[in-house]
A and B are shown apart, each in its own frame.
Chain A
Amino acid sequence: MSRWLAALLLFASFAVEAHKPSDSYLHLKLEGARITGQWDIALRDLEQAIGLDANGDGEITWGEVRARHADIAAYALARLSVDGDARSCPLQVTGHEVDQHSDGAYEVLRFAAECETAPAAIEIGYRLFFDFDAQHKGLLNLEYQGRIQSLVFTPERSRQRFEPGELSAWRQFLSYGREGVWHIWIGYDHILFLLSLLLPAVLLWDERQWLPVARFGVAFLDVFKIVTSFTVAHSITLSLAALGVISLPSRLVESAIAASVVLAALNNLIPLVGGRRWVVAFFFGLVHGFGFASVLAELGLPRNALVLALVGFNLGVEAGQLTIVAAFLPLAYFLRAGWFYRRVVLFGGSIAIVTVAMIWLIERALNLKLISA
């Protein structure tokens, strides 16, 4: 067959692409002078580089990989360099596993690097497989102080410098504070819980009906008690969980949070704990604290500024919460006497909250996806 026909037959815009080009996935976590790493390298590529299929049967078994662990580590680590402040941080293998990516099985190489001091600048040199694969890319995730930065290594960009730029204590504090504010604003379950408890604050349950409170001070005191007890409670559990004193399964926590929203809103429809909602706020606040802690765990806490970050995050949550309360209370007080507030806002709103939270509860408890929260 002539080559030109090949052009038509094999034209790439329709070539049957079974795989993607070669990538490796490198994850580095900086903690002071110590760097831990996980490097996922395709077995296909290692076969091309050093040959893994010992018996030549076209299949790579765990036994064949295991027998070559030392060679794999030597080959790979010789092609990666980590320099802290222009001084080499020697790499040490800490373990081997395997994992499955979208295009096949990968060696998971775990390693650690010890720099002499916590580096102000890090330079990473990557040249795995570049000698025989011009399309190979090294995809690096660099994790430090709860942040992740992505870098891509190609044959053209095989050395990259990075400055973690030791965040000042104040900046770190602010950054965690911002995360706290952000989390309460996007954490609809926390907002709905708080709102459910606050909705009746401008009213009084008397003789089986809701009456408007006479003075702003009454409503304010009620709100103050609820918000304070919620805050105190979730600060306790947030701190305990963040410091690793207590840990609960996240599914249990998330489901319990959803349940707390259901109960808080139901209480507006069938009032059971009229004047003592601050007790409810405290009790369930303990649960919500665990929810905040899981967010903080995802962000990662800096070892050198643990308490600072914790306080910053917590204050951020309070600040976010207070802005919501500040927007809610005057409006609710203004509307409190009307039909609209009792029927639509309190009754309709609570029914809507119960419905949404019930769905969350079912989703979280059963691990389903019904709506997006």
Chain B
Amino acid sequence: MSGLTIAVPRGALMRDTLDVLDRIGVDTHEVRANDRKLLFREAGIVTMRPSDVPTYVEAGAADLGITGKDVLREQSEREVVELLDLGYGPCRMVFATQDGEDPAAEALRRLGVMRVATKYPKIAARHFQATGRQAEIVEVKGSVELAPLTGLVEAIVDLTATGITLRENGLVIREELFASTARLIANPVAYRTKAGAIDRVLETLRGG
């Protein structure tokens, strides 16, 4: 029991995150047993979508949080302290288009601009700006792979762990933007006022 409130991501990162919490002495039994409940006051755990973790941590509704580097990059304006690379949940942010001749390159050559679907509009916009290409970013909320198959866009920027979903939809990776893993983040006020408790968590996680 650390006395800290921790924002835990639901979904792919949840199991490994609960294992990490076990190591720092947080009782995760109730969380593991109860899939619907969101708030576990006794254990100091709140569960949420990974992309909501920085919101709760920045506002101080949670002292610590765990989420992917992809989320932190997309929400880079959030005032949180990034403490530790937890190493699990490895995946890559990639630029992908349909197999064969690259339709995005053709669009750039003939139309001067390519259309790119993504759930990460800021990451995508920054990438194309930094590499000097004009891109029209189309934000979608789910199944990004669908967008190029229907002619909505020529390319996508998305997160992939294995590349299987991309391949099954006839997409090939053209560029890798960065690699992502789970990160431990802290609220800037808690980082100072609860420095002792947070440092004990860090020591345990670094030591193991």
A binds B: no
